[in-house]
Structure 1
Amino acid sequence: MVGESGVDNDDVTLATVDVAGSKATKVKKQKKKSDKNVKGQKDASNGGSDNVVTLPTDSENEGENLPEKPITSKKKSKKVKDARNKVRNATSTFNAAKQREKGTISSKKKKKGKLVEIKESPVVFTYNGIDTSNDGTNNEVTSPNDINNNEVTSPNDINNNEVTSPNDVDSLEDTSPNPLSSAKNPTPKKPAFKKPAKPHIIFVIADDLGYNDIGYHTRGTGSVVDTPIINDLALSGVRLENYYVQPVCTPTRASLMTGRYPIRMGLQHGNIRQADPNCLPLDETTLPDKLRDLGYATHAVGKWHLGFSSPKCLPTQRGFDSYLGLIIGSAGHYNYTKKGRALYSNESVEWNHTGKYSTELYTEHAVDIIRKHDRSVPLFLYLSYQAVHSPIECPDVYQRRYKDKYPDLWRVESRSLSGRLKYLGLLESVDVGLGNLTQVLKNTRMWEDTVLVFTSDNGGRNNLFASNWPLRGEKNTLFEGGIKGSAFVSSPLLPPDVIGTVQTGLMHVSDWFPTLVEGVAGGVAETRLPLDGLNMWPTIAEGLPSPRWEILHNIDHMKYMRRPDKPLPPTPYPHNQWILYDYIPFYPRTYAAIRYDNWKLITGIENIEYSGWVPPEESFKQPIPMETVDNLGIYVRLYDITKDPEERDNIALSNRHIVFKLLHRLAHHNEHVVIPEHLYNDPAAIRAKETPEGISWNPWRS
């Protein structure tokens, strides 16, 4: 408490700071009585003189010396108070200067954590205190919300200010005088932080991620998956639980980049292979094209998989300012090779980084982009991880948490469990990478103006240790396990009333194009070609109903194709009587699927090997084969996804009017189908692999 005289009644510690920068010394002032008792009081040991308080000199700062004579108690209050405030300011600024010089911020409390606060380039990655880059640095961050070691009470309570003492948080734009500096040469004020005119956009893709391989989806499924960073971001944002992608990588990425269904680009049949003379059509306007026109800096990191047969197909020719990543669909996570080197830097093969784990390489490069970025310019960063795509390989350090948490589980001799553990390590590396990414956004004060999107590109591969349970099917099928994506939006810009909510309105990956261009960046999404995507930002940010009522999952005339002029003979399965109708709007043996409100229609024959229900390996539950529910020879399947999300009850025969309505819708979309071209290995691509540096994948067309 402070008495009427202005002197603290409690013991007060004053710090004396040497103006040359020496260490502060402490002078402890004795406890004082009230002003009435102090007046006229004499110190017997001082021969009757007033009590004396020694004050720090500040002649260099103020241009005058403090009085040498004793200060009477009457004048003492104001002098002590002024000196006390001056010294506290000096101490605070001095500590801040030391912390900035070291590049660290003091912390009131330290906790165990697994992320690294990234300070200097190159980035250091640790996992549970283990440095995976072997440079000896081990700075701990407790969570993606622990900014500069300050405790944050909620995911949206983001405080990126520098801490000058454990109990004193000052603004980064502190414009108060610096007592340590000369009055003639004051420290210049820091320029005020200029916010970007539009939000930064960070778009993250996890490759081949199983629906059940994300922490907030695993409850009650028998899975041990835990993704704490992803969970924190998702639960502090908006989760999209009626969101769909395409069955495989290339079609999903094409739809994302253009806002259009793959059937319009001839990319609906499957992935672009290494020697395939095909790429994202050059007449398509891409998402980075649009955002760059709106003033965004655009950078791509990670997997491309939209073709490279011509230099015009490369990312830096399709709207991105820079690119580092894998140009093909898959390769080793350490050597970036699949029958040839495929790691690219901008428009040429990158021969460095061999032995650097892909998730760490991509995260490190993304972090470097963020650290060097001018915060006043809006940033679009497209980060497309190779993980958790095969090959199933990763540093052992990322498997350690699961080994330690479930030691008995992995002692069971099983190839499947061994592979599952490595898969979980791949997933853990993505989680840690995302934590490092969001941490540097917060450290650079960009997070407060950022919209982060996370999505999978298709379902996981059950035979490669992923889990889509309890959904049916997997990657490369039109069942829910192949096309239902895991996605969320996390941002401090979201209104408080939608934070932590689940959005169940229909949404498709093509919707990101208009959602980001119009909803987030405030531009116009319209291109010279018709869009299929819709602006979902009002649905995400305001909780309004989804404007989408239909999704064309795919139409692929080439998959499992048999000649239409040779229909199958009648079969004992009544479901196959659809092909014998005199009039039917859409040929039911064509491999296709469409969603209309709660109804989902699948036509054609699915691959029996990939169409069952497969629980996670660690649950020790038995898979449910497809033939136990329905038969491979069925051409028409109708499901009420709202009531039957696992697609166990085919109700086509009892709802023929719904079937015919959806067949008409498929016929409508079929009018816009572009037949895929160039689905072959071009010999010229193989010849172009020979280079003086080594075997690599290079563009071979003009």
Structure 2
Amino acid sequence: MMDVFVYGLLLLSLSKCVESKSPHIVFIVADDLGWNDVGFHNPAIISPNINYLAKHGMILNNSYVQPVCSPLRNAFLSGFYPFKSGLQNFVILPQAPSCAPLNRTLLPQKLKELGYATHMIGKWHLGMCKWECTPTYRGFDTFYGYYNGKEDYYNYTVLNGTDFRDNKEPIRPNEYSTYAYARRADKIITQHNKSQPMFLYLPFQSVHQPIQVPEIYENMYEDIKNDGRRKFSGMVTALDDAIGNVTASLKRNEMFEDTLIIFTSDNGGMPSYSGNNYPLRGGKATIYEGGTRASAFVYGLGLQKPNTVFDGMIHAVDWMPTILSAAGGGQVSGIDGLNMWPSISEGVPSSLRSEFIYNLDDSLVPIMGRAAIRMGDFKLIEGFAGTYNGWYPVPENEEDAKIDEPKVDYYQLYNLRDDPNERNNLHTKEHSMLKKMKERLNEYRKYIVPPVTEKPDPASNPNKYNGYWTPGWC
């Protein structure tokens, strides 16, 4: 009888060890992917791998991001709002002598303290004027990708230079970038020491413009008459295949069951480049829901309620402490992000995240929106909201892509529970709520730091570095 008791205790202790094992974490970011650009929101899009993971995992129905790339990536990795990082006005341009604040500890640095191997594949876009700004100096063991915001999918050039690195070495892959990233992910997964937890940050180039895709994928959408939308849809399917290749590699290397997969877009789709957020309002570079409410899900190890939709709010700044918590780390103090892992893992929406800032920019020209705040069900927009003010159905032909922009009031107040598509402005009816939210916005204004400089520096010229965009000039 004693032997049976001891055996039972041993089994219990082993099960607890398994439960407490740090998961491998794959953090996938799709670039400029709209709300209506994935199959689990729009059945016209062919994305079986994304659909499977979303539907068998947990769809995050209220996951919020930033209107454009650099501010969002900084929020993901640092846990700070862009307006506290000088990144509230726009993206970091190739010639700008700027980068994400160097006095901040980023997510991969924290994960390395927990024993993780950390790898990055894809788009950085957090500055590259000095080596200290780049991925392998900011916590990643390896980097395979590009430093800037966009480039050609085949020749890897932007403006007058090539932008691609294997760690620090300038190279140029000889295939469509989505293929190259999936191939490198397979190599990293295959060569990984399975006894060590792995963090793979995989911010794909897809589906950011330029709109380029192998013909085999475009031909899957012959019924779409709008040329840009047909190619864009093909790009989504190419991305989906790449994600399928990554999950297949995890399975082949017996890591899939021990992996937590996180998928999110970085901002909304851009209507002028065939992205689509319908029925949400606006798009990329706006603080409307179409620019900031992300297609997102989590799948895998640690989820107690798979096959569900999570309606709790989560913001981009939350991913840093949330991922650390999933990895077995402790609380992070002094940041804007909140640890949402207990809520997500248990599938129980909490009141922890009930408020956030969409953007806060008091610059003369607030390119991606002056100010917006969410408090409970209510959202207040103050001033310029961004370039795209309207609602943009999927274009059936070339002419459908041209839509008039509606006129808007300086203050826009919406109850997103009743009006998720922001059609009924309540600013003249909800006087007390308007006053309360304006006061709260002004509280946040106390913490604004000046935007980083975007003034081009001629020292950045790739012609000085054998034709490659290269750090070391600021």
Partner residue, 1:200: 24
* Cα distance in 2, alignment partners of residues 506 and 683 from structure 1: 43
Partner residue, 2:470: 698
Change (3 A) 1:195 1:532: closer
Partner residue, 2:330: 524
Give the conservation status (yes or no) of the 8 Å contact 1:258–1:285. yes
The code of the aligned residue for 2:339 comes to: N
Give the conservation status (yes or no) of the 8 Å contact 1:399–1:425. yes
Partner residue, 1:267: 87
* Cα distance in 2, alignment partners of residues 270 and 593 from structure 1: 16
State how 1:660-671 maps to structure 2 within 5 Å: 660-671=435-446
Partner residue, 1:347: 168
Note if 1:544 corresponds to 2:348: yes
Note if 1:336 corresponds to 2:145: no
The code of the aligned residue for 1:669 comes to: Y
The code of the aligned residue for 1:509 comes to: A
Bigger radius of gyration: 1
* Cα distance in 1, alignment partners of residues 269 and 124 from structure 2: 18
> What is the aligned-residue RMSD (CA, Å)?
1.9
Note if 1:591 corresponds to 2:370: yes
Partner SS for 1:306: coil
Partner SS for 1:505: strand
Partner SS for 2:29: strand
Residue 561 of structure 1 and its aligned partner are, at CA, apart by 6.0
Q: 2:188 aligns with which of 352, 360, 369?
A: 369
The code of the aligned residue for 1:208 comes to: D
* Cα distance in 1, alignment partners of residues 178 and 327 from structure 2: 28
Partner residue, 1:679: 454
Give the conservation status (yes or no) of the 8 Å contact 2:27–2:262. yes
Partner residue, 1:171: none
Q: 1:288 aligns with which of 108, 111, 116?
A: 108
The code of the aligned residue for 1:611 comes to: N
Q: 1:602 aligns with which of 381, 386, 404?
A: 381
Partner residue, 1:121: none
Give the conservation status (yes or no) of the 8 Å contact 1:272–1:278. yes
Query: After the TM superposition, which of the residue ranges 507-516 and 196-205 deviates more from structure 2?
Result: 196-205
Give the conservation status (yes or no) of the 8 Å contact 1:559–1:591. no
The code of the aligned residue for 1:685 comes to: S
* Cα distance in 2, alignment partners of residues 643 and 591 from structure 1: 24
Note if 1:212 corresponds to 2:69: no
Partner residue, 1:166: none
Change (3 A) 1:499 1:426: same
Partner SS for 2:247: helix
| Matched length | 453
CA displacement, residues 58-100 of structure 1 (integer Å, 9 cap, x when unaligned): xxxxxxxxxxxxxxxxxxxxxxxxxxxxxxxxxxxxxxxxxxx
Partner residue, 1:635: 410
Residue 399 of structure 1 and its aligned partner are, at CA, apart by 1.9
Identical-pair percentage? 42
CA displacement, residues 589-615 of structure 1 (integer Å, 9 cap, x when unaligned): x810000000000001235x5111111
Partner residue, 1:435: 244
* Cα distance in 1, alignment partners of residues 259 and 131 from structure 2: 32
Note if 1:553 corresponds to 2:374: no
CA displacement, residues 452-477 of structure 1 (integer Å, 9 cap, x when unaligned): 00000001110111111111101000
Q: 2:269 aligns with which of 460, 467, 471?
A: 460
CA displacement, residues 353-372 of structure 1 (integer Å, 9 cap, x when unaligned): 1x310000011001100000
* Cα distance in 1, alignment partners of residues 20 and 188 from structure 2: 16
Residue 652 of structure 1 and its aligned partner are, at CA, apart by 0.4
Q: 1:506 aligns with which of 313, 332, 335?
A: 313
* Cα distance in 2, alignment partners of residues 199 and 485 from structure 1: 24
* Cα distance in 2, alignment partners of residues 481 and 457 from structure 1: 12
Partner residue, 1:321: 141
* Cα distance in 1, alignment partners of residues 378 and 443 from structure 2: 17
Partner SS for 1:690: helix
Q: 1:389 aligns with which of 200, 205, 208?
A: 208
Partner residue, 1:42: none
Give the conservation status (yes or no) of the 8 Å contact 1:196–1:375. no
Residue 618 of structure 1 and its aligned partner are, at CA, apart by 3.2
Partner residue, 2:120: 300
Partner SS for 1:215: coil
Length-normalised TM-score, structure 2:
0.92
Change (3 A) 1:559 1:202: farther
Give the conservation status (yes or no) of the 8 Å contact 2:62–2:293. yes
Give the conservation status (yes or no) of the 8 Å contact 1:456–1:487. yes
Residue 447 of structure 1 and its aligned partner are, at CA, apart by 0.7
Change (3 A) 1:306 1:595: same
Give the conservation status (yes or no) of the 8 Å contact 1:195–1:376. no
* Cα distance in 2, alignment partners of residues 378 and 481 from structure 1: 35
* Cα distance in 2, alignment partners of residues 473 and 486 from structure 1: 15
Partner SS for 2:49: helix
* Cα distance in 1, alignment partners of residues 208 and 27 from structure 2: 18
Residue 226 of structure 1 and its aligned partner are, at CA, apart by 2.5
* Cα distance in 1, alignment partners of residues 26 and 413 from structure 2: 37
* Cα distance in 1, alignment partners of residues 411 and 375 from structure 2: 15
* Cα distance in 2, alignment partners of residues 523 and 701 from structure 1: 36
Partner SS for 1:489: strand
* Cα distance in 1, alignment partners of residues 114 and 464 from structure 2: 40
Give the conservation status (yes or no) of the 8 Å contact 1:314–1:347. no
Change (3 A) 1:508 1:241: same
Length-normalised TM-score, structure 1:
0.63
The code of the aligned residue for 1:349 comes to: P
* Cα distance in 2, alignment partners of residues 486 and 209 from structure 1: 8
Give the conservation status (yes or no) of the 8 Å contact 2:98–2:453. yes
Residue 196 of structure 1 and its aligned partner are, at CA, apart by 9.4
* Cα distance in 2, alignment partners of residues 531 and 524 from structure 1: 13
CA displacement, residues 378-430 of structure 1 (integer Å, 9 cap, x when unaligned): 00000111010011011111223223xx3xx44xxxxxx11111111111111
State how 1:607-618 maps to structure 2 within 5 Å: 607=386, 610-618=388-396
Change (3 A) 1:635 1:236: same
The code of the aligned residue for 1:434 comes to: I
Give the conservation status (yes or no) of the 8 Å contact 2:45–2:237. no
Query: After the TM superposition, which of the residue ranges 617-626 and 239-248 deviates more from structure 2?
Result: 617-626
Partner residue, 1:424: 233
Residue 623 of structure 1 and its aligned partner are, at CA, apart by 7.0
Query: After the TM superposition, which of the residue ranges 301-310 and 418-427 deviates more from structure 2?
Result: 418-427
State how 1:556-571 maps to structure 2 within 5 Å: 556-558=361-363, 560=365
Residue 492 of structure 1 and its aligned partner are, at CA, apart by 4.3
Give the conservation status (yes or no) of the 8 Å contact 1:638–1:651. yes
Residue 503 of structure 1 and its aligned partner are, at CA, apart by 0.6
* Cα distance in 1, alignment partners of residues 346 and 21 from structure 2: 21
